[in-house]
Chain A
Amino acid sequence: MELIYLNNAATSWPKAPNLSDTMADCIRRVPYHAGRSGFSGPDVAEECRRLLANLFQIREPNQIAFGPNATHALNVALHGLKWKPDANVITTAAEHNSVLRPLHYLAKTRGIKVHMVRVDRAGRIIEEEWEAALRNYRPQLAVFTHASNVTGAVNDAGLLGRMAKQAGAVTLLDASQSFGLFPVCPEQWGIDMVAFTGHKYLLGPTGTGGLYIAPAMEPELEPVWVGGTGIHSDLDEMPPMMPTRFEAGTPNDCAIAGLAEALKWSTENPLNINSLMAKAERLSVGLQELGADVIAVQAPRTPVVSFTLKTWDVEDVGEILQKSFAIVCRTGLHCAPRIHAFLGTAPAGTVRLSLSRFTTDQEIDDCLAAIGEMLHEAG
């Protein structure tokens, strides 16, 4: 039985071709010191930053600070922000724990006040409620996800970001579920910071991610991690320039080289988003026809389909798909515990199938057949 991987919202698989060779080459090569070597050695971080900057449509690649993942990036932003006393923050019920837990921690330790904006039954941020929250709380920070990792609903980040900026808030976007699928344009949208990951729709390795920091944000953000940078070692404090200020310690060169390779491959082989979304739609419609309770999401959306079955526990569905049918998916709350109250899927959560550009029509058919068999079996 061939394995069918439908858990790309957690981490993509397969990765971009040649990624593993590139990473292996990187670890075999003599290491060069980024920032010190001039033209004498390859600077994989510089190349990766340039490719990311193209994707972000930003002018200055050095505004991107690398980190091991989006959670790290979100923590750098949330803990690094120079909080005012009694600061208000608005966020949304669609957020991942990578946002919710740092905010909870900051509420406990720094006294920030967190206000949660509701989402609709598709998991999309309700713009009127976002506007009302901005008006009522005048937050120092507005942090929100570009796309729900549970339902795939994509938010209008440009609109929500502009509304928050007009209300005087710093804006932080979690692009973990959208970067690589849809344009993420912080300069155009006026977004101050964007956290991203390399291992989902960018098709890069785990252990890659980072934070875009707008130039105007630099004075508002203190480095959370401080330490060796390999340059300006005579200073007591972190060097002031980007991205070094937010990149203490030795970077993960091999993973960054892998991400650069994935970005190059994606540039040469652009994603056909319409084809991918057609497959997601076919899966969604197919599940509905089988009688599954599918969370209906209008476009724009990511290739994520969440559902429940009346006759099977959520956890059993995942277990059976994986063990009996060799279909890898994800079940439960998906680290986004607040959204389920709005989707009607609390307390158990959903079964989530998430596609990638490599998902085939045959795999969709096989998945539908498997779920059909389960429903038939349950009577």
Chain B
Amino acid sequence: MKRVESKKVENCFASTQMYEYRLPRKMSEEMICEFGKNGKLTFHRNFPRPFFKLILADGTTVKGILNDTVVKAQYPDQNPQAGKQQFEDLLEELLNRQDTDMEW
């Protein structure tokens, strides 16, 4: 069973493929950095609520806030379904790894 709840969100552009994901736990700094290994991460730690943005190799952009349970992913116009599947797999894998680490 998937532990991540997702919801499509819209903006001004009809072609946008954007989803919000509610995670079972807050995004810790460790999780963000782990995530960052999969692409280009910018992490603005100095903001009152630190903000991160990660661009994956296929162009998928992931944004969120430290210690928030929601992350937003925007998929590339070209083949968004593949990008979505890839990101969701990555997210599950990361969460599973975090669970294993916590068990240890």
Contacts and interface: CB of A to CB of B under 8 A. Distances in A.
Nearest to B50: A324
A343 interface: no
Contact of A349 (B12, B46, B53): B12
Nearest to B66: A324
Interface residues of A, number: 18
B12 A323 contact: no
A329 B103 CA distance: 42
A368 interface: no
Given A315-B11, A333-B12, A324 B44 contact: yes
A349 to B, nearest CB: 6
A324 B47 contact: yes
Given A319-B63, A374-B47, 9 more contacts: A315-B11, A320-B44, A323-B49, A323-B51, A324-B44, A325-B48, A332-B11, A373-B47, A377-B46
Contacts of B88: none
B44 A377 contact: yes
Interface in A9-40: none
A373 B46 contact: yes
Q: What's the interface size class on B, roughly?
A: 10 to 19
Given A323-B68, A333-B12, A349-B12, A316 B63 contact: yes
Interface string A320-331: 100111100000
A324 B12 contact: no
Interface of B: 11-13, 44, 46-51, 53, 63, 65, 68, 72
A332 B13 CA distance: 9
A241 interface: no
A1 interface: yes
A259 B63 CA distance: 39
24 contacts: A1-B48, A1-B49, A315-B11, A316-B63, A319-B51, A319-B63, A319-B72, A320-B47, A320-B51, A323-B49, A323-B51, A323-B68, A324-B44, A324-B47, A324-B48, A324-B65, A325-B48, A325-B49, A332-B12, A332-B13, A349-B12, A373-B46, A373-B47, A377-B46
Closest 6 pairs (CB-CB, A-B): A332-B12, A324-B47, A333-B12, A324-B49, A323-B65, A324-B51
